[in-house]
Amino acid sequence: MKKLINHPDAVVDEMVEGYVAAYPQYVAVLPTNKRALIGTHERTQGKVGVVIGGGSGHEPAFMGLIGKGMADGVPVGNIFASPPPHPIVEVTKAIHSGAGVIYMYGNYAGDCMNFDMAAELADLEEGIRVETVLVTDDIASASENEMHRRRGIAGGFLVFKTAGAAAERGYALDEVVRVTRKANDRLRTMGVALAPCRIPQTGQPSFTLEEGEMEIGLGIHGEPGIQRGLIATADETADILLDAIIQELRLVQGDRVVVLVNGLGSTTRMELLITYRRVDTRLKALEVEIARSYVGEYVTSLEMGGCSLSIMKLDDELEDLIQDAADTPMFVQMR
Amino acid sequence: MKKLINHPDAVVDEMVEGYVAAYPQYVAVLPTNKRALIGTHERTQGKVGVVIGGGSGHEPAFMGLIGKGMADGVPVGNIFASPPPHPIVEVTKAIHSGAGVIYMYGNYAGDCMNFDMAAELADLEEGIRVETVLVTDDIASASENEMHRRRGIAGGFLVFKTAGAAAERGYALDEVVRVTRKANDRLRTMGVALAPCRIPQTGQPSFTLEEGEMEIGLGIHGEPGIQRGLIATADETADILLDAIIQELRLVQGDRVVVLVNGLGSTTRMELLITYRRVDTRLKALEVEIARSYVGEYVTSLEMGGCSLSIMKLDDELEDLIQDAADTPMFVQMR
What digits encode the pLDDT tens for the residues B96-108?
A: 999 999 999 999 9
Split at pLDDT 50, 70, 90, the class of A2 is confident
CATH number, position B212 = 3.30.1180.20
Residue A324 lies in a domain: no
User: Does residue A282 lie in a domain region?
Assistant: yes
**B206 and B163 within one domain:** no
User: Distance (Å, rounded) from C-alpha B157 to C-alpha B14?
Assistant: 24
Contacts of A332 in chain B (CB under 8 A): 332-334
On whether the CB atoms of residues A167 and A143 are closer than 8 A, the answer is: no
| Whole-number Å distance between alpha carbons of B158 and B318 | 10
Q: How many of the other CB atoms lie within 10 Å of CB of B67?
A: 24
Could you give the CA distance from residue B264 to residue B260 in angstroms, rounded to a whole number?
12
Nearest CA to CA, how far is B120 from chain A (Å)? 31
Instruction: Please tell me the distance in Å from B303's CA to the nearest CA on chain A.
Output: 6
State whether the Cα torsion B23-B27-B29-B31 is positive or negative: positive
| A221 & A140 share domain | no
Amino acid at B232: A
Sequence-distant contacts of B41-46: CB under 8 A, at least 24 apart: B41/B67, B41/B68, B41/B72, B41/B327, B42/B68, B43/B72, B43/B95, B43/B97, B44/B97, B44/B170, B45/B97, B45/B98, B46/B97, B46/B98, B46/B99, B46/B170
Q: Is A58 a catalytic residue?
A: yes
pLDDT at A303: 96
Number of domains in chain A: 2
Q: How far is B236 from chain A (nearest CA, A)?
A: 9
Contact B226, B217 (CB under 8 A): yes
Q: Is A291 on the interface with B (CB under 8 A)?
A: no
Closest-CA residue of B relative to A335 is B327
Write the pLDDT tens digit of every residue in B20-53: 999 999 999 999 999 999 999 998 899 999 999 9
Mean per-residue pLDDT for B223-241? 95
A140 with A59, same domain: the answer is yes
B206 band by pLDDT with thresholds 50, 70 and 90: confident
The string over A97-106, giving b where at least 16 C-beta atoms fall within 10 Å of a residue's C-beta and e elsewhere, is bebbbbbbbb
Please give the Cα distance from A22 to A328 (Å, whole number).
12
Of residues B251 and B1, more confidence is placed in B251
Tell which of B268, B298, B310 to mutate to test the A interface (max A CBs under 10 Å). B268
Is A305 an interface residue toward B (CB < 8 Å)? Answer: yes
Instruction: Evaluate whether residue B111 is within a structural domain.
Output: yes
The answer to which of A11-20, A217-226, A249-258, B321-330 has the lowest mean pLDDT is: A217-226
Q: Does any domain span residue A6? A: no
Is the same domain home to A147 and A34?
yes
Residues B181 and B280 in one domain: no
pLDDT band at A13; cut points 50, 70, 90:
very high
Beta bridge partners of B30: B33
Please state, rounded to an integer, the average pLDDT across all residues of chain A. Answer: 97
The DSSP call for residue B88 is H
Whether A119 is in a domain gets the answer yes
Tell me, yes or no, whether B3 lies in a domain: no
Residues of A in contact with B324 (CB under 8 A): none
Asked whether residue A138 falls in the same domain as residue A31, the answer is: yes
What was the pLDDT predicted at A210? 86
Interface size between A and B, measured as CB pairs under 8 A: 183
The answer as to whether A238 is a domain residue is yes
Are A52 and A105 spatial neighbours (Cβ–Cβ below 8 Å)? yes
Q: Please, which residues bridge with residue A28 across strands?
A: A38
Which residues constitute the domain of residue A253? 187-314
Instruction: Establish whether this prediction's ipTM goes over 0.95.
Output: yes
Contacts of B26 in chain A (CB under 8 A): none
Task: Determine whether A317 is exposed, middle or buried from the number of CB atoms within 10 Å of its CB (0-12, 13-18, 19+).
Answer: middle
Residue B2 inside a domain? The answer is: no
